[in-house]
Amino acid sequence: MRPLRGMTVVALEQAVAGPYATRQLADLGARVIKVERPGTGDFARGYDRRVRGMSSHFVWANRGKESLTLDLKDPRGAGVLRSLLAGADVFLQNLAPGATRRLGLDAATLRAADPRLVVCDISGYGQGGPYATAKAYDLLVQSEAGLLSVTGTPGEMAKAGIAVSDIAAGMYAYSSVLAALLERGRTGEGGHLDITLFEATVEWMGFPLYYSYEGAEPPPRAGAAHATIYPYGPFTAGDGRVVMMGVQNEREWRGFCERFLGRPELAEHPDHRGNAARDRHRDTLGPLIAARFAELTGEGAVELLSRIPVASARVNSLHEVWRHPQLAARGRWHQVDTPAGPVPALAPPGPASAAPRMDPVPALGEHTDAILAELGLTGPEVAALRRDRVV
């Protein structure tokens, strides 16, 4: 399924939020031209060297794109970009605040020249307001959005283990671009999207925000356990294997007491009737549950829970996720070419196609000559740009 075939996306992007958004568009068939700085490119290329000498972040978020190097501070480089935008459907950028305005690439200027263009700006805090010019790295946004206040243990806060604010912003940018293209199909008009890491993360904080509505006590940091539902979290089996399990309703709670704990009387005890009561008394209920898990192996506990049924999961390492039987059974692993050879890559979630788009991860500037030729530049003109390090 490639519904965006024929669409061209020009991206001035770096790090995670912008590249992740445009990778989704590429997966759906769009042509994505990634504009990078000559010589160094997207700085995420240098985050690490864990994938055959390439950056893990870059390989993950940049397949299916074409890499064009341009020095936008040189008028000739800026001219090339404007020529590209003249035929584009979407312009997406996540440069530092104010950078595109200084380059004359702000939404008002671009859309005045081409009202059909969809312009998507991704920033930390958006245009306007006291935080408009603030630097906004993922961990800093997690902090501002209150995520760290509910993540970790009672004694120590913790960040999410992935770049959750970047990913949230990237996904809202992706879905918003799709919506803008649908609207353009009806009206003929593009639009301006102002996506922020902060607002995307605060949106995902909806449950703890409402839980603490009007000054109520916020949910406590509860480690790997759920802060307000009990029992819902990790328990260690007798063989040391950690099992994650969760009771969601009273029917499951009764089955858990009868068939897992072997203590049917606990189901109707006043201290345990209803989730709110169980949450208040987790200090006394927890040791009873932990003692039963200690009598079983991890696999035995999972099997017994599944027969009740009560939901459970193994706490997998990343190496176990690579070998996860569900991903293998559904044929989710494919291959994507990179400058260092093919590597495995997950098919994009959603489409059930047996042949998802898995175009290569580009080398820095790999498509520069071809793109410039498309725009009508001659060999000597391209050579002059290379000599002057404009590309």
Instruction: Give the residue numbers marked as catalytic.
Output: 166
Tokens of 97: 């605040």
Helix (H) or strand (E) holding 93: strand 90-93
Q: DSSP string spanning 335-347?
A: EE--TT--EEEEP
- Which candidate, 378, 36, 207, 274, places its Cα nearest to that of 22? 36
CA distance 195 to 95: 13
Tokens of 168: 């949230």
* Long-range contacts of residues 245-254, Cβ cutoff 8 Å, at least 24 apart: 245/301, 245/305, 245/310, 245/311, 245/312, 245/313, 246/310, 246/311, 246/312, 247/310, 248/311, 250/274, 252/308, 252/309, 252/310, 253/278
Contact 247, 231 (CB under 8 A): yes
Contacts of residue 291, defined as CB under 8 A and 6 or more positions apart, other chains included, come to: none
| HSE toward the beta carbon, residue 259, CA cutoff 13 A | 16
Tokens of 171: 């996904």
Contact 27, 3 (CB under 8 A): no
- Which candidate, 41, 61, 64, places its Cα nearest to that of 51? 61
Side chain identity at 326, as an amino acid letter?
A: Q
- Residue found by looking up tokens 């196609």 in the block: 353
